[in-house]
Amino acid sequence: MRKINLESYKIQVKSFNSEKQVVEEVEQVYDVKTSCVDILLHPDLNLGGSELLISHKLAEKINECNDDKILLEENEYQRLKTAVEVLRGFSKKDVEFVDRILNAKEDIDVKEDN
């Protein structure tokens, strides 16, 4: 099992004028949960029907989580990790998000019933 930190975090976003000069820098909230859902269902993944349904089920699980962290089974984690690795176009604001996914630690405290 892998533990994913779903807690939102703050990022600095610059706005520019028509001459591409920085006008202001504002703080915004980066919604990790929404980002997980978005990448799992992103059109650039070219998901087929059955793959879409599997990803949608995982997206719903993440979206419905009421905690700041979620435990994912290894196959669920691999699906989320693959989406992060396949998609292109991430930027500086996504660094922490990508790090949380790609470097998620295994939760060794989870006990499985046999």
Which pLDDT value is given to residue 112? 54
Structure tokens at 107: 């939760």
Measured distance CA(18)–CA(81) in Å, rounded = 37
> 49 has which bridge partners?
none
- Annotate 29-90 with DSSP letters as a single string: EE-HHHHHHHHHT-GGG---HHHHHHHHHHHHHHHT--SSEEEE-HHHHHHHHHHHHH----
Please tell me the distance from the alpha carbon of residue 10 to that of residue 25, in angstroms, as a whole number.
12
Model confidence at 18, pLDDT cuts 50, 70, 90, reads: confident
Average pLDDT, the chain: 91
User: pTM value?
Assistant: 0.84
* pLDDT winner (highest mean) among 25-29, 78-82, 91-95: 78-82
Q: What is the pLDDT of residue 14?
A: 79
Give residue 16's pLDDT band: very low, low, confident or very high (50, 70, 90): confident
